[in-house]
Amino acid sequence: AGVLRWTWRLTYMSAIGLLGWTAYGIYLNRNPVEQPEPDPSKKTLVVLGTGWGSVSLLKKLDTENYNVVVISPRNYFLFTPLLPSCTTGTIEHRSIMEPIRNFLRHKGAAVKFYEAEATKIDYEKKVIYINDDSEIKGAVSQTEVPFDMLVVGVGAENATFGIPGVKEHGCFLKEVNDAQRIRKRIMDCCETATFKDQSPEEVKRLLHMVVVGGGPTGVEFAGELQDFFENDLKKWIPEIASNFRVTLVEALPSVLPMFSKNLIDYTEQTFKEETIEIRNKTMVKNVTEQYIEAEYTNAAGEKVLERIPYGLLVWATGNAVRPVVRDLMGQIPAQKDSRRGLAVNEYLVVKGTENVWAVGDCAVANYAPTAQVAAQEGAFLARLFNQMAKTEEFETELATLSEKQGTAPNKDSRDEVFAQIKDVQKRLRRVKQMGPFEYSHQGSLAYIGSEKAVADISWLTGNLATGGQLTYFFWRSAYLSMCFSTRNRVLVFMDWMKSYIFGRDVSRE
170 near ligand FAD, judged by CB under 6 A: no
Residue ranges of E strands in 228-371: 245-249, 276-279, 283-287, 291-297, 303-309, 312-315, 319-320, 342-343, 356-358, 363-364
Angle at which helix 216-228 crosses helix 261-273, to 10 degrees, equals 30
SS3 440: coil
Euclidean distance between CA atoms 158 and 175, whole angstroms? 10
According to the binding rule CB under 6 A, does residue 51 interact with ligand FAD? yes
100 scored as a contact of ligand NAI (CB under 6 A): no
- β-strands 76-78, 97-99 pairing: antiparallel
Of the candidate spans 42-50, 139-147, 257-265, 279-287, the one that interacts with ligand FAD by CB under 6 A turns out to be: 42-50
Q: Pick the closer one to ligand FAD by CB: 66 or 77.
A: 77
Contact 360, 373 (CB under 8 A): yes
Residues 359-418 that bind ligand NAI (CB under 6 A): 368-370
Q: How far is the CB of 403 from ligand FAD (least distance, A)?
A: 44
Binds 341: which of ligand NAI, ligand FAD, none (CB < 5-8 Å by kind): none
363-364/276-279 β-pairing: unpaired
CA–CA dist 467, 471 (Å, integer): 6
Q: Which of 189, 240, 284, 365 binds ligand NAI (CB under 6 A)?
A: 284
**The binder of ligand FAD chosen from 89, 155, 311, 467 (CB under 6 A):** 155
* By CB under 6 A, residue 73 contacts ligand FAD: yes
**How many angstroms separate the Cα of 59 from the Cα of each of 114, 301, 311, 376, 479?**
18, 54, 42, 12, 19
- Is 449 an interacting residue with respect to ligand FAD (CB under 6 A)? no
- Choose between 35 and 290: whose C-beta lies nearer to ligand NAI: 290
Question: Which residues ranging from 288 to 317 are in contact with ligand NAI (CB under 6 A)?
Answer: 316-317
- CB-based contact 133:119 (threshold 8 Å): no
Choose one: 19-27, 50-58, 303-311, 412-420; the region binding ligand FAD (CB under 6 A): 50-58
Contact between 322 and ligand FAD per CB under 6 A: yes
What does the DSSP assignment read for 311-346?
SEEEE---EE--HHHHHHHHH-GGGTT--SSEEB-T
From the list 268-276, 363-371, 399-407, 460-468, the region that binds ligand FAD by CB under 6 A is 363-371
Pick from ligand FAD, ligand NAI, none: which does 74 bind, CB < 5 to 8 A by kind?
ligand FAD
Q: Which stretch binds ligand FAD (CB under 6 A): 39-47, 88-96, 185-193, 371-379?
A: 371-379
- The answer to whether residue 53 forms part of the interface with ligand FAD (CB under 6 A) is yes
C-alpha angle 4-8-12 in degrees, rounded to nearest 5? 170
263 binds ligand NAI (CB under 6 A): no
Helix (H) or strand (E) holding 128: strand 127-131
Q: Which is nearer to ligand NAI, 225 or 332 (CB)?
A: 225
The pair phi, psi for residue 437, each rounded to 5°, is: -70, 130
Give the binding site for ligand NAI (CB under 6 A).
Answer: 81, 161, 163, 212-218, 220, 249-252, 257-258, 283-284, 316-319, 368-370, 444-446
The residues of the shown chain that bind ligand FAD, judged by CB under 6 A, are: 48-54, 71-74, 80-81, 83-84, 117-118, 153-155, 173-174, 217, 322, 324, 360-362, 369-372, 374
